[in-house]
Structure 1
Amino acid sequence: MTSIYDIQQLLKKFGTIIYTGDRVADLELMADELHELHEAKLIEATIYEAASFVLRQEMQKQKDKLH
């Protein structure tokens, strides 16, 4: 997991496509979906942690843009 695209492709494998038009909202929804997949033990902890890290980085970039 090195990009948002990788995360989108992972979520697509589980039938989840997220696009609201709001980048920050999309990232938050992706994080929620990843958490649910991890809790259900459908993805490994290492994948969950890597994807969460990428999402946190991107969320921070988006917040920095706003300020």
Structure 2
Amino acid sequence: MTTTLHKPLDSWTLEDVTVLAERLERDQYPNVTDALEDWHLLKALQYARPELVAPYSHLLELETDED
């Protein structure tokens, strides 16, 4: 995890969000908790800074179970 996790949402930059999104896209977390923390952070940023998250909104879409 990077120290950006503790930054106020209004101080995030496009570069910070890009790093976060790239981690989510790689999905190589040591445990599910770290992945969920990043997902929730991106979700919070979607509301606070939607202009930064728009290119990564596909990462916030929930998958449906077809069974």
Q: Same fold (TM over 0.5)?
A: no
Instruction: Report the TM-score when normalising by structure 1.
Output: 0.42
Instruction: Report the TM-score when normalising by structure 2.
Output: 0.42
Q: Which has the higher contact order (CA 8 A, sep 6+)?
A: 1
